[in-house]
Amino acid sequence: MEPIRETLKRVVNAPAFSERYNDMRKEVLENHGVQKFLEEHSSEIDKSTVDRGLHKLYEYIDQSHDCNKCPSFEGCINHLKGFEPNLVLERGTIGISYTPCRLKNAHDNKRRASSMIHSMYMPKEVMQATLSGFELDDSRMEAFRAVSKFLDETTGPDNMPKKGLYLYGKFGIGKSYLLSAVANELAEMNIRSVLVFVPEFMREMKQAIGDQTLQEKVDYVKKADVLMLDDIGAEAMSSWTRDEVLGTILHYRMAERLPTFMTSNFSYSELQHHLTYSQRGEKEDLKAARVMERIRALTEPVKLDGRNRRN
């Protein structure tokens, strides 16, 4: 049997192997990144160093750089997903180090931003909203400007306008979408938002009495950096949910001067009328006025108009 050393020597010296090796060496040395690396280390690298490190140089050129060969983070072709190779010289030997790529950084930032938003019963598609995706026309410009002003005046969790917005108007015109877009913008600033679909939240609060989680859930909502109450007025409001749940949340946020956003189909006056009558038909003007006083203290009303975009 032929010794393994002789076998390897014969394979290496074969014309086909030699040709492939030379082609690979040529491809490696013509790569811009490799040339730049060799120039930067010209005083430390000679031909033998290149020959010994040729497999590392080929590993380097065979991968994506600045995500130029990757369609997305999920479609990354590199040996380490989300990391791009960098040539290094360590003790006279060519090696490779890996650093996070542009797509990974964007992916991580998006995940980090998503963790800053807690949604309670909001539709998933709405939660993907962006300001750039908000269709502008004359009837929606006032709301867009009000939102932009709030964001421009926000520089961090401890420096936000004390008043949020009360976005109101008819069904399907983008109130919830704009609310979510604001939450996503705030998340980029590391500001935590809690988005609550009010009708479903109020139903859960009634159930929470039985499982003794009411106070915990109310505390979580009322202490959010930014609270967004979506579709207030669409729920069948009882005296208890109005006074003990909504009233408690709004009173805390008013006292602590925490930004609060709301959307509704009702104007201020229409919402007050809605809050005045309990499920049992009782007329409670004073209690409704007390809740509205807190809403006015927490928000600026902005009407949103336009066509129904759900149809």
As a three-state string, the secondary structure of the chain is: CCCHHHHHHHHHHCHHHHHHHHHHHHHHHCCHHHHHHHHHCCCCCCHHHHHHCHHHHHHHHCCCCCCCCCCCCCCCCCCCCCEEEEEEEECCEEEEEEEECHHHHHHHHHHHHHCCEEEECCCCCHHHCCHHHCCCCHHHHHHHHHHHHHHHCCCECCECCCCEEEEECCCCCCHHHHHHHHHHHHHCCCCCEEEEEHHHHHHHHHHHHHHCCHHHHHHHHHCCCEEEEECCCCCCCCHHHHHHHHHHHHHHHHHHCCCEEEEECCCHHHHHHHHHECCCCCECHHHHHHHHHHHHHHEEEEECCCCCCCC
- For residue 298, what pLDDT is reported? 97
How far apart are alpha carbons 92 and 266 in whole angstroms? 74
Question: What is residue 207's predicted lDDT score, i.e. its pLDDT?
Answer: 81
CA distances from 227 to 44, 194, 196, 230, 232 (A): 60, 5, 8, 10, 13
Alpha carbon distance 32, 30 (integer Å): 6
Q: What is the mean pLDDT of residues 177-195?
A: 91
- Report, at the CATH architecture level, how domain 116-303 is classified: 3-Layer(aba) Sandwich (3.40)
Is the pLDDT reported for residue 8 higher than 50? Answer: no
Residue 31's pLDDT band (boundaries 50, 70, 90)? Answer: very high
Give the pair of three-digit tokens for residue 41.
């280390």
pLDDT digits (tens, 9 = 90+) for 129-167: 899 889 888 888 999 999 999 999 999 888 999 999 999
- Quick: pLDDT tens for 245-270: 999 999 999 999 999 999 999 999 99
Per-residue model confidence as pLDDT tens digits over 265-303: 999 999 999 999 876 767 889 999 999 999 999 999 999
In Å, what is the CA distance from 39 to each residue of 93, 162, 271?
15, 57, 72
Q: Is the pLDDT at 4 greater than 80, yes or no?
A: no
Q: Specify the residue for token string 């990757």.
A: 70
pLDDT > 90: percent of the chain: 52
Average pLDDT over residues 109-130: 71
Domain boundaries for CATH 3.40.50.300 within the chain: 116-303
pLDDT at 15: 61
pLDDT, residue 243, reads 92
Res 111 pLDDT > 80: no
pTM of the prediction?
0.66
Q: 63, 77 in Cβ contact below 8 A?
A: yes
137 CA to centre of own chain: 26
Most confident of 47-51, 112-116, 207-211, 290-294: 290-294
Q: How would you label 166-186 residue by residue, b for 16+ Cβ within 10 Å and e otherwise?
A: bbbbeeebbbbbbbbbbbbbb
Q: Please tell me the predicted confidence (pLDDT) of residue 136.
A: 87
* Burial of residue 44 (number of CB atoms within 10 Å: 0-12, 13-18, 19+): exposed
pLDDT at 7 over 50: no
- State the Cα angle at 218 between 212 and 221, rounded to 5°: 140
Average pLDDT over residues 11-31: 75
Cβ–Cβ < 8 Å for 143, 242:
no
pLDDT category at 1 given cuts 50, 70, 90 is: very low
For residue 233 the two structure tokens come to 């007025």
pLDDT at 235: 78
**Residue percentage of the chain with pLDDT more than 70:** 90
Closest CA to 29 of 10, 12, 51: 51
